[in-house]
Amino acid sequence: MSVGAERKRVTKAPEERRQDILDAAVKVFGEKGITRTTVSDIVGAAGVAKGTFYLYLNSKEELLGALKERFVDEILDHTASFVERVGREDWRRARGRSTRSSRPGSAPGSRPAPSGPAIPS
Domain positions in the chain are 14-100
Contact 22, 11 (CB under 8 A): no
Mean pLDDT of 7-18: 86
pTM of the model: 0.62
- Hey, what CATH class is 14-100 in? mainly alpha
CB crowding 68-83: b at 16 or more within 10 Å, else e: eeeeeeeeeeeeeeee
Note the pLDDT of residue 81.
Answer: 79
Distance CA 110, CA 71 (A): 41
Mean pLDDT score across all residues of the chain: 81
Sign of torsion, CA 22 26 29 34? Answer: positive
The predicted structure's pLDDT at residue 9: 77
Report the C-alpha dihedral over residues 8, 13, 18, 23, rounded to 10 degrees: -70
